[in-house]
Amino acid sequence: MASYATIEAETATADPVEMLTKIRDRLFRQDSRRARFEQAVLPHLDAAYDLARWLTRNDHDAEDVVQTASLRALQFFDGFHGTNARAWLLTIVRNSFYSWLQKQNRGHEIGDPFDEDIHSSEDGSVPAPDTELLRQADRRVLRLGFESLPLPYREVMVLRELEGLSYKEIAEIAGIPIGTVMSRLARARRHLQDFLIAQGVKEGRR
């Protein structure tokens, strides 16, 4: 069997789908294993790329992260015995992103911009930004608003508002308590609403 490093080197420039197909063919010779992998993982590649893109804020870097995550998913697929393949794959994408971030000497972005212990008593029931506010904001401004969020806020916001995951799923993916998920979401929503208002998205006017 080809080594992980060899496969990674050979697929460094391939597009994600073609790359994943080649690796799958190399690692999974048995039809049953190949079919299980395709059924469980391939439908969620778009979600994997979307998460990587929002985390890295760069198309090329997102492709690198997804490639690494796909390799890991293939390598450890036999250890997956759950029913939520989407959450499992997104967990690998997130972990691959943080490993990539450390290699880029950007580990300082990982730190939470607030003290969880101090704020843990606050609930996470702050609603999403006003519907009219979001309706008036164009896609470019919304994208900039999401990208302006500190990383700990951005990842939970993307997983909740864009991927539609539950608090429990987000907590498992991010490895944090559900209360922390709710707390970060509350701050992310406030941050996004303040950003939109500062950009002139207010009372239906731009």
**CB within 8 Å of 147: residues ≥ 6 apart:** 54, 57, 154
CATH number of the domain that 161 lies in?
A: 1.10.10.10
100 assigned to some structural domain: yes
Instruction: Report which residue type is found at 191.
Output: H
Please indicate, yes or no, whether residues 96 and 121 belong to a single structural domain of this protein.
Answer: no
pLDDT of residue 199: 80
Calpha distance 171→175 (Å, rounded): 6
190 assigned to some structural domain: yes
Token digits of residue 30: 């048995």
Please indicate, yes or no, whether residues 123 and 171 belong to a single structural domain of this protein.
Answer: yes
Residue 42 DSSP label? G
Please indicate, yes or no, whether residues 102 and 172 belong to a single structural domain of this protein.
Answer: no
**In DSSP terms, which residues pair with 193 in a beta bridge?**
none
pLDDT of residue 172: 95
In sequence order, which ranges of 57-150 are alpha helices (DSSP H)? 59-75, 85-103, 116-119, 131-136, 139-148
Contact 158, 98 (CB under 8 A): no
Q: Per-residue pLDDT tens, the chain, 206 aa: give them.
A: 444 444 344 444 556 667 666 666 665 555 677 788 888 888 999 999 999 999 999 999 999 999 999 989 988 888 888 889 999 999 999 999 999 998 876 655 555 554 444 344 444 444 555 555 566 667 788 888 899 999 999 999 999 999 999 999 999 999 999 999 999 999 999 998 888 888 876 544 44
206 assigned to some structural domain: no
Task: Determine if the pTM surpasses 0.85.
Answer: no
Please indicate, yes or no, whether residues 12 and 87 belong to a single structural domain of this protein.
Answer: yes
How many structural domains does the chain have? Answer: 2
Please give the radius of gyration of the chain, using alpha carbons only, rounded to the nearest integer: 19
Boundary residue ending a domain (109, 126, 158): 109
Boundary residue ending a domain (109, 142, 177): 109
- Domain limits for position 124: 116-198
